Amino acid sequence: MKPQALTTLDEALAAVLAQALPLGVEHVDLFNADGRVLRADCTSALQVPPQDNSAMDGYAVRVADLPAAGVALPVSQRIPAGHVGTELQPGSVARIFTGAPVPPGADAVLMQEDTTVLADGRVQFNAMPKPGQNIRRAGEDIALASTVLAAGTRLTPAAIGLAASIGMATLPVGRKPRVALFSTGDELVLPGTVAPQDMRPGSIYNSNRYFLRALLQRLGCEVVDGGILPDHRAQTVEAIHRVAQDCDLVLSSAGVSVGEEDHVKPAVEQQGALNLWMISMKPGKPFAYGQVFRNGQDASQGVAHFMGLPGNPVSSFITFLLLVRPFVLRLQGLQDVAPRATTVTAQFAWPKLEKRREFLRARHDGQGGLQLFGNQGSGVLTSTVWGDGLIDNPPLTPIQPGDSVRFIPFTELM
Ligand SMILES: Nc1nc2c(c(=O)[nH]1)N[C@H]1C(S)=C(S)[C@@H](COP(=O)(O)OP(=O)(O)OC[C@H]3O[C@@H](n4cnc5c(N)ncnc54)[C@H](O)[C@@H]3O)O[C@H]1N2
Ligand code: MOO
């Protein structure tokens, strides 16, 4: 068999992103917005805070009325949060609570711990306030008409709080991609159907289906679980044709390498096109991208995207994080899909010269360095739980203790 020329990961990523045209927009309430991609700028119709308000429980004062510590003044009004006071009479102070609007005329708030309430009801000030002290200024958080969240960003809990703070009840977000998820392989057994002690020789539990589904759901996708693809060409064609009608992406794991048992790639080619196969990365070489024609003939009636992940669990996991994740986020409208990497010091040796760009499972050692998981085999799923991210090691680059390496934390990839 002729060796296949490998595509670089950067080329592959650019190629799949070029196909990821953003899906439509829907409106969700804030309770359902976490992790979704905002599709229009979120602009404030008010300033936050709306008025100057007190940062402390204490007394609103005119600084000029307190030339020295020890002065005592009468209390002319009381302003709880949610109420508005009146112009502060010179020579008096206002009892005020955290968050309450500062009355006109007052130019500082003194916290109550720095005061003594005298028997006659006046308040003695044991410290001298500075102008502006303990006043939170109107608009200091958000100016009127400013954009607080930009279109094309992914909503976090903090972003949802910010949207609520300017009175938004719903937000426009990218529609959830509908993803059909398949596994292939006669050896696969679903957990719960056969007890570990009863597993036939040669059979293994299907792990890919579970982490792929969890990852897709985390990334805002609606998963249509297609189960295990039949080991039969015509049935595979039929199963893919069926889900392609109303799914945006058909995602399968295994059966994309060079083996003869493999029906997935030919089944896609029979009713679509395979645009990409074999990436210069380790693990994950046999990743495939293509399109399934909805009418089985051509793109005139629309297409579903196809991504085929390698069967080895770690290969499947890593190709998902580096290729599927950015793709499904871009479908939702996310602009910046690149994970943020850091530079960390390796505390291990990796002398191997590997031709492919390698993604090694590693974790922080708590002292600014990185440790490597001992077994980097693409079937060793333990490495993905032990590790807290991936070292992105360029081709033909040995690593010595003390070398700086590029590290992508898993938190950037989910
Ligand atoms: N002659 C060659 N053989 C292989 C090559 C190659 O270039 N030439 N590439 C290797 C690489 S790299 C990978 S990765 C694998 C990928 O193979 P497939 O995607 O065709 O997957 P399978 O062969 O069906 O399975 C590989 C491995 O993964 C296990 N597996 C599959 N599905 C699951 C699942 N859902 N849950 C858990 N484990 C799963 C399967 O039992 C196999 O052990 O090919 C190499 N071979
Ligand atoms: O790419 Mo395979 O994923 O090296 O094991």
Quick one: pLDDT at residue 379?
96
- Pick the ligand that lies closest to the CA of residue 283: 2
**3 is a domain residue:** no
Q: Whose CA is closest to 212, among 176, 183, 248?
A: 183
- Domain limit, last residue, from 276, 308, 331: 331
- In angstroms, what is the span from residue 316 Cα to ligand 1's centroid? 9
Distance of CA 243 to the CA centre of its chain: 27
Per the CB < 8 A criterion, the answer to whether 174 and 155 are in contact is no
Residue that the structure tokens 């299907």 belong to = 206
**305 is a domain residue:** yes
Helix (H) or strand (E) holding 263: none
Q: Report the CATH number at residue 275.
A: 3.40.980.10
- Dihedrals φ, ψ of 139, to 5°? 75, 5
Complex prediction ipTM: 0.97
- In angstroms, what is the span from residue 378 Cα to ligand 2's centroid? 6
CB-ligand 2 contact for 95 (6 Å cutoff): no
| Residues 180 and 167 placed together within one structural domain of the fold | no
| Residues 358 and 265 placed together within one structural domain of the fold | no
| Residues 84 and 14 placed together within one structural domain of the fold | no
Residue that the structure tokens 């794991």 belong to = 253
| Residues 200 and 310 placed together within one structural domain of the fold | yes
3-state secondary structure of 284: coil
| Residues 305 and 352 placed together within one structural domain of the fold | no
Q: What atom of ligand 2 comes closest to residue 319's alpha carbon?
A: 3
| Residues 13 and 93 placed together within one structural domain of the fold | no
| Residues 259 and 385 placed together within one structural domain of the fold | no
Please give the sequence-ordered ranges of beta strands (E in DSSP) within 51-191, or none if there are none. 53-54, 58-61, 72-73, 75-79, 93-96, 108-111, 115-117, 123-125, 135-136, 147-149, 170-174, 178-184, 188-189
CB-ligand 2 contact for 313 (6 Å cutoff): no
**89 is a domain residue:** yes
**4 is a domain residue:** no
Q: Whose CA is closest to 220, among 158, 178, 164?
A: 178
CB-ligand 2 contact for 357 (6 Å cutoff): no
Residue that the structure tokens 């010595």 belong to = 400
Q: Burial of 397 by CB count in 10 Å (0-12 exposed, 13-18 middle, 19+ buried)?
A: middle
What range defines the domain where residue 158 resides?
Answer: 32-47+140-173
- Domain limit, last residue, from 331, 352, 379: 331
The percent of residues above 90 in pLDDT, for the chain, comes to 94
**393 is a domain residue:** yes
- Domain limit, last residue, from 284, 299, 331: 331
| Residues 234 and 364 placed together within one structural domain of the fold | no
**2 is a domain residue:** no
Tally of structural domains, the chain: 4
Joined together, the tokens standing for residue 280 give 């210069």
**359 is a domain residue:** yes
CA–CA gap between residue 80 and residue 99 (Å, rounded): 8
- Pick the ligand that lies closest to the CA of residue 378: 2
Calculate the average pLDDT of the chain.
96
Average pLDDT over residues 151-169: 97
**318 compared with 258, residue with greater pLDDT:** 318
**1 is a domain residue:** no
- Pick the ligand that lies closest to the CA of residue 203: 1
Q: Report the CATH number at residue 166.
A: 3.90.105.10
Pocket test of ligand 2: the residue of 285, 318, 352 to mutate, having most ligand atoms within 8 Å of its CB, is 285
- Answer whether residue 261 shows pLDDT above 90: no
Quick one: pLDDT at residue 232?
86
Q: What atom of ligand 2 comes closest to residue 310's alpha carbon?
A: 3
Q: Report the CATH number at residue 117.
A: 2.170.190.11
Per the CB < 8 A criterion, the answer to whether 83 and 169 are in contact is no
| Residues 106 and 207 placed together within one structural domain of the fold | no
Q: What atom of ligand 1 comes closest to residue 309's alpha carbon?
A: 19
- In angstroms, what is the span from residue 178 Cα to ligand 1's centroid? 26
| Residues 150 and 166 placed together within one structural domain of the fold | yes
Q: What is the pTM of this model?
A: 0.93
CA–CA gap between residue 167 and residue 82 (Å, rounded): 17
Average pLDDT over residues 304-324: 97
CA–CA gap between residue 279 and residue 276 (Å, rounded): 8
Task: Quickly state the pLDDT bin for 231 (edges 50, 70, 90).
Answer: confident
- Pick the ligand that lies closest to the CA of residue 204: 1
| Residues 309 and 190 placed together within one structural domain of the fold | yes
- In angstroms, what is the span from residue 254 Cα to ligand 1's centroid? 6
| Residues 316 and 168 placed together within one structural domain of the fold | no
Task: Quickly state the pLDDT bin for 3 (edges 50, 70, 90).
Answer: low
